[in-house]
Each structure stands twice: as structure tokens, then as C-alpha cells.
Structure 1
Amino acid sequence: MPVLPGAEPYRHDGGEVGVLFCHGFTGSPQSLRPWAEHHAAHGLSVSVPLLPGHGTRWEDMQVTGWQDWYAEVDRELRLLRERCSQVFVAGLSMGGTLALRLAARNGTGVDGVVIVNPANKVHGLSAYALPVARHLVRTTRGIASDIAKPGAAETGYDRVPLHCAHSLRNFFRQVDKELPQVTQPLLLLRSTRDHVVPAVDSARILSRVSSTDVTEVVLEQSYHVATLDHDADRIFEESLAFVGRLAPSVGKEGTAAVG
């Protein structure tokens, strides 16, 4: 099955500092491409993998689960570590949850974490019905393109396979247990108006991690997919400054040193 236009994985070999970007549930690298390209333009090595079952059609996603999605970003992290001296993980929504698990399980193999509107729980009464409902109903309506900016759109599915939603619920529970193992510097950016992930998820994450270097940035002008919204430039600049503060090889202007 061909990949949807714009949903292709993206990689750029730059300097000794790398950033792994993780996209969200039913989304694709398209939602993170401008962010990754911004960092690549400043000399960083970047990787934006396409999660299994994503970026084609929802039927392909139906046969995958969280273990498949996590295995993909774990593999990409190892590849980045082979060629970079420092590696940061970043993510949007469920991608933020994937990034947090990478940090929890890899210790010093991850130098910092940047998460945008991270998810921690499947909310609502429907979450409790998933174990049974997924055997009766195949899909529910999609969650893509929660964006305030006119004309901006996210490449994602218009349907959510309930089997995958059930797997996602289990994944959130697993990662919540592992959050105290996250000790790396953390930058969390969240939108004041998010119609997909409530603010309580960010609060829960901040209360559970063991990181002592924590920065929270509130995005006033964006909805859930803030990386494509009005606050996108702020996300790019804040995260580049965060990486630059922690990575000596990144210059004052955010450009990786060439030597």
C-alpha cells in the first residue's frame, strides 16, 4: 500500500547532535516535518520514522499495536546513537508518550526530552468499553487535524481502529508506571485549547517524572497539533534552545559546529 503524500519518513544526516521525532496516534511524519526540517537546517541530525500501520490506510493500522510502534522508534534511536554523540527524543501526542518511554528505558542513551501535548490516558466512559467494543465495532471517528490555523491540515486517518485504541490504552498504562524512571531534562509544551488531549495529561506526566530540569511552556494560540499551528515557530525555537543549552557542540545560534 503506497504511503500518503507527505507522510513519508524523513531523515537528515547532520552534526553530532541528533533528534528523534515521534509522531502521534493515527498521524504521520507530516505533522512533524517542518519541526524536523527546522532543526536539520541548524545542523542537527534528525529522524522522523513512520510508525507501522500509519501513513497509508486505517486497515493497515488495524493489525498493529503499541509494541510495533515502540519497536520502530527504539530502532531509530539506536541508529541515531551510532552516529551521534548526543541524542534527544521529541514527540507529539502519543509520540510524546513514545519519547517518554525511550527516555525511561534508555537512561544516559537519551540526553533530553521534548514533548508537545503529550498523552497519558484514554479518557471517557468509552475507554472502559474498549476491551469488548473492539470485538463488535471496527472503528470510530478520527482525531486528526485539531488545528486552529486556517488552511493547515494534518495527514492522518479519518477513522480510529478500536483494536488499536485498546492497545493504546494499555500502552498509556504501561508508560505511566515507567514515568518515575525518566530523569533527563524535560521540555513540555502544551496548548491551552486542546480538543484531543486534556491538560490533566501533562499535569500527570509532570507529577510522575523524576526529572529535576523541567520547563513547561504554554501555547496560547494552538490546538492539539500545535506543530502545524500558530505556535509552531515557538515550538521550533524553544526546542532548539533547549537542545543548544544541553549540547555543547551546538553553537549559540543553534547551529551545530563544523569541524
Structure 2
Amino acid sequence: MQSSNPVLTRKDAFTPGYREASYGDIGQLAGPGQGAPVGQAPAGRMTMNDVVAKTGTLFVILVGVAAIAWFATPPVMLYPVAIISSIVALVAAVLVTVRRSVSVPAIMFYTVAEGVLIGAWSRVMEYLYQGIVAQAVLGTFVAAAVTLACYRYLGARVSGRMQKIFLISIISYAALAGLSLIFLLFGLNLGLFEVGPGAGPLSWLFAGIGVVLAVVSLLMDFEQCERGVQMGAPARESWRAAFGLMVTMVWLYTNILRILSFFRN
């Protein structure tokens, strides 16, 4: 199954039929028709423990940088810092995504840029709506936990035609978001990313769709990471998987933050 997350949507170690010469044939490691048990891959292979550990590492860096940006950025510089860091993070994410080989320094660079963005933007939202950041963080982890529970215990999956529909929807959403940011730099607001109770219907619709797509993407990413382990993906691919999960979680957080602002004064 192909993930809706562009980071994991590629012909590589997460794709059936992938074979890397330096690691040998997956079938010879696990036997005909079988993959390595989840969390118990052979030496040099990706495991779920690796993915969890590296995802945790990236989030520690993200939160640490966000905290520094929160406290160290002068209030008058919050908006410029948020805009500049969003552009830098977008470029870094594209570079990480299009590379066939995993670049840990590039992933770290993106994490730092995203941390600056999250710290500056969260500080702005907290100044406008006191207590909203804590609510958004809690909502993000609750949504992620529920999604994981549905995947693990209820067998929730997205497949077939729906998978293609969600993939096209996510690409379209990302394109609109990037276009809106470019127009915003030139003083033109498309009305897609407004915050607060005065936000227009397009902002409500865009934020709601963003949450739905992020949750679905997270659900599909869980399955993709598990598939990578079963296929015996190289250990370094756990960095790519962790990066993809972090991107989705940040996307979920920002949309929940915006939705909460619609109900605040």
C-alpha cells in the first residue's frame, strides 16, 4: 500500500519489489514469501524500535528549537521569523523528499527550521488566544493516539481507489498552501489561512480538510512504516520514516491550532 505522505510515496525501500544490492535479497533473509517480523529485523535492517527512537529524537529537537524561538524572538520579529522559517522549512522538506538516499543532515536542518516556525507561530497564537497552544498540543496527541489505536486494534486501513483520492487531495492541498503563501508575501490574501472567530468560510473548510487529510495520512504512514520493517528496509530508512511521521504530526498540530482559534475571542 502506498502512503499518502509524499515522504514515503516513492519507489524505494518502502515499495514492494525494492532491492538494494549492498544488502542482498530480502527473500534470502526472511525466506520465500515472508518478511522480517515487525521490530525484529535482521542486523542492519529497519525496526519499529528504530522508527520510534528516531521519531522521538526529531521531536525533542523540534520542541527544543521551538522553545528557543518562543522565548528568544522579539515580539516585533515573530511574523517575519515565522514567514521566513516557513519558506526555509518548505524548501528543506522538498529536498529531503526528492532525494533517493536518506540525508540525516538535511532532515535535521528541516527539523530546526520547522522548530523555529512552530515556536514563532505558536507564540503569536498564544499571545492572541491564551492557553490555545496547550489545547492544540493535547488535541494533536489525542488524535494521533486514537488513529494509532484504530490502526492497531480495529484494523483501520485505506486502500484501493480511496488511497488515490487521498493522495491527489493531499498534493492539491499542499499546492494551494504553497500558492497562498507566495501570494501572501505580495500582500494578497486568498483567505485560506485566516485565524480567529472572524475567519471566513474558506479558512474553516481548509482547516477542516487539513485535519482529515493529516489523520488519514498518519493512518497510512503507520502501515507504510510497518511494511518497511516487514520488507527488511535498510536501517537508515528509519530516519525517512521518522521524518514523514513528524511532518504529518506538525501538519495536524497547525490545523488543530487554527480550528481552536475559530472559537476564541
TM over 0.5: no
Structure with larger Rg: 2
Q: TM-score range by the shorter chain?
A: under 0.3
State TM-score, norm by structure 1: 0.26
State TM-score, norm by structure 2: 0.26
